[in-house]
Every structure is written in C-alpha cells, then in structure tokens.
Amino acid sequence: MPRDAIADDDITRAVLARDEVVRYLQGSHGDTGPEALDRVHAYLEELKTTQRYPIYKALKHPLYPILRKIERHAEHIEIVENATRAGRVIYASNHRSHLDYLIEPLALEDANIRPPIIAAGINLFGGPLGLIHRHVTGAMPIRRNTKDPAYLITLKAYVAELLRRHDLMFYIEGGRSYSGELKSPKTGLLHAALQAEPQRMVIVPTAIAYDLVIEDFILSRQKVKRSQRPFARELAEMVRYAVGYRSRAITTFGAPIAVDGCDPLSRRDVLDLAHRIIDTIGHLVKVLPTALFASALKRSMGRREAEVRAEAIADKLRAANANLGFTDVREAMDRAARLFEARGIIVIEQGRFRIRERHVLRYYARTIDHLLPVPPDQTH
C-alpha cells in the first residue's frame, strides 16, 4: 500500500477514535448508525489532502508568469526557522488576495523551511488548480459558514490529527477582506488546532501586504462578500487586471505565541487568543506607500496638501509602533502616486491628484485604519 494511503488510513482511524466523533456516531446530534458513519467518512474523503514536496518546490516554475510580476520579501524568517526546529508550528495569517496561497508558502520554501498544510476555501478546489491544491501543495478544502454538526465535528477532529504530523497555515479572518479592513477573527480552525495538543506547539502570527492587490478593483466594488462566486470567474477577472500589474509582497512573521495556557474547551480562552493573534497581525502588517497615500488623499488635492496630511498620518503610525515600509514620506507619496496612476486609480494633473476610482482608493486606506486612533477624515 502506498505511504500516502497508509497515512490517510492512520488519520481516519485516529479521527474515528476521538471522543467527540464517537459521541456524534452514538447520537449526540441525532444521527446514528451507518448514516452517521457515512457522513463522517464522506467529509473525511473531502478533507483528505496530500503534500508532495519535490513537486511543490517545482511549482514556482509553471507559475512563473504570475510570480514574476511580484517581488517577494520576507521579514523575520529567522523566527520561523527557530520555531520549526523546536516543534509544531501553526501560521495564522491575514488574508488579502488569492495570491496569498502562493506567496506565503514560497516565502518559507525560499528559506528551506518545511511547508505547512494550507486551509483554503473549498471554492478553490475546482479544475486544474484544485488538483494542484489537493495533490501537490497539500491544501485542505474548508466549507465556510456551514452549520452541519457532522462536518464541524469531523473538521475539528481531522485538523487535530493532521497537526500531529504537519504544520498548518490558516487565515484567521476567514475569507479575504473585501473592504480592505482587518476583519474580526474566526475561531473555528483555531479551536480545532488547539484540540491537537501536540507538545511544543506555537502559533506564529503572519502578515502579508502588497503595494497593489491584484483583485483590488474586484474586491473594492463589492466591499462586502454577498455570495460565493465560482473561482473560474474570479480567476478570469484577475487575469484581466493582471495586465501591466507589478507589485511587491511583504510577508512578516511575528514572535511565536505559546498556546499551552489556553483551554480549548473554554470559548473565552479561544476568543481571547484569537483577538491577541489578530491584534499582533495588525501591527505586523507592512504599511506600504500605497496605504499611506490612500489614507491621506482627498478629492482633487494638491501635492503639498497631500504630503502634509501624509506626514500627520505617518506620525500617528509611528506612535502606534506600526511596521512602516518607508522612511521618507515625500518619497513614499511619489512612489504610490506612480503606482496608482499606472493602474488608473488616480490622475496627476498640474501638480494635483485627481481620483478616478474612489472605491479602490478607499480600499487601500482601510488597510491601516486599525492602526489609527481616529481614522483621518475621508471624502473620497
């Protein structure tokens, strides 16, 4: 029997032996007998994933047409090197773009750090990309917003057992932020991970930021996610907005957070931990020139007025110990203006900045609202 099949059988047996699954099969939620067992097995089959590291490392080559548009940087990678040597690691990240699934694991691979299993929305598992996720990168499909007890019990048990064998990366906001704001944390996967209870397990808060998010026009027009659209449609839109796209992606790793004092059976403990993680991520996120520019700009504003506002905002960011991606405000404003003009978000006319895409500019401004005690007055 192939090694992968043996590992899958081991996890299946371990999941079925967990107390919460046994209680479900015995009727804790109304279902019993073969029907309950079939539901658990069906969900286990759906969650099953395989990570083939040699193929995973080669993925960057067929994906080069996308990745060559993005200049990758990683901050504090030594934190991860030390944490993975010491034990099991859970990466809890914010979620900006579908590209996060590529950029963050590659930041680890660039440093020869073992790759984690990635928890990704089930909508990403259709077509060729789904095959890559399931059989190469080791991504695990997650059904969000479901209340089916059979699924939730199976998912938590599966994650707990998976963590005994692999590291895990998940997005604590759930889905991508459509408004640009840092969202409130979701606790489902965190709760599942805490139930694993492996020795020497830590959470590494992880933050990703882009000069330009490739889906910025798509996300900002919706602002709030109303329904799950087919990924093929989203991918087609991303390809459209990728024309001329260039960006930096900065992945920042924070100091490990110990979990041994958190009771996984206490909702308060888990929620407090989730808020601690999201607050840490908020301060790790690199504040890039585009966010500063968007936060400072008003409708039809002169360059000097915009720079004065940007200086005031930069002072507030420094007071909040934000992770600034610039030292000179004027240079940052010039860089952001070039990027936004090239993307068609603003127009520069006779020393004035005129806004063409207010919703997109506001999307970038919101990415740093959590760092400002009182968000700056915005009229765009």
Same-domain pairing of 173 and 221: yes
The last residue of a domain, from among 224, 252, 284? 284
Are residues 369 and 181 in contact, defined by beta-carbon separation less than 8 angstroms? yes
Are residues 136 and 56 in contact, defined by beta-carbon separation less than 8 angstroms? yes
- Residue 133: predicted pLDDT: 65
- What global pTM score does this model have? 0.88
Please give the share of the chain, as a percent, with pLDDT higher than 70. 83
Give the CATH number for residue 356: 1.10.10.10
Same-domain pairing of 267 and 290: no
Task: Write out the E strands in the chain.
Answer: 70-75, 89-93, 117-121, 139-142, 168-171, 202-210, 247-253, 257-258, 286-287, 301-302, 323-324, 346-349, 352-355
Same-domain pairing of 221 and 361: no
Residue 360: give the domain boundaries: 286-371
The last residue of a domain, from among 260, 284, 308? 284
Same-domain pairing of 226 and 301: no
- Residue 312: predicted pLDDT: 97
Instruction: State the pLDDT confidence band at 261, using cuts at 50, 70 and 90.
Output: confident
Same-domain pairing of 276 and 333: no
- Among 117, 103, 104, which Cα is nearest to 205's? 104
> pLDDT of 63-101, one tens digit each?
667 778 899 999 999 999 999 999 999 999 999 998 898
State yes or no: pLDDT of 362 exceeds 70: yes
Same-domain pairing of 202 and 305: no
Secondary structure class of 213 (helix, strand, coil): coil
The last residue of a domain, from among 240, 260, 284? 284
State yes or no: pLDDT of 379 exceeds 70: no
- Residue 2: predicted pLDDT: 40
Same-domain pairing of 280 and 302: no
Same-domain pairing of 308 and 174: no
Mean pLDDT (the chain, rounded): 86
State yes or no: pLDDT of 3 exceeds 50: no
- Among 124, 281, 102, 92, which Cα is nearest to 193's? 92
Instruction: State the pLDDT confidence band at 11, using cuts at 50, 70 and 90.
Output: confident
Same-domain pairing of 256 and 317: no
- Rounded Cα distance between 265 and 176, Å, is 28
> pLDDT of 121-138, one tens digit each?
877 776 656 666 666 666
State yes or no: pLDDT of 1 exceeds 80: no
**Would 170 be classed as within a structural domain?**
yes
Most confident by average pLDDT, 49-53, 176-180, 225-229, 329-333: 329-333
- Going by their DSSP bridges, the two strands 346-349 and 352-355 should be labelled as antiparallel
Are residues 326 and 292 in contact, defined by beta-carbon separation less than 8 angstroms? yes
- Residue 271: predicted pLDDT: 96
Give the CATH number for residue 269: 3.40.1130.10
State yes or no: pLDDT of 170 exceeds 80: yes
- Residue 354: predicted pLDDT: 96
**Would 234 be classed as within a structural domain?**
yes
Give me the residue label for tokens 């659209």: 229
Same-domain pairing of 164 and 243: yes
State yes or no: pLDDT of 324 exceeds 70: yes
**Would 219 be classed as within a structural domain?**
yes
State yes or no: pLDDT of 239 exceeds 80: no
Same-domain pairing of 190 and 331: no
- Rounded Cα distance between 169 and 230, Å, is 23
Instruction: State the pLDDT confidence band at 315, using cuts at 50, 70 and 90.
Output: very high
**Would 81 be classed as within a structural domain?**
yes
- Among 366, 57, 104, which Cα is nearest to 253's? 104
**Would 33 be classed as within a structural domain?**
no
The number of domains in the chain is 2
- Residue 199: predicted pLDDT: 72
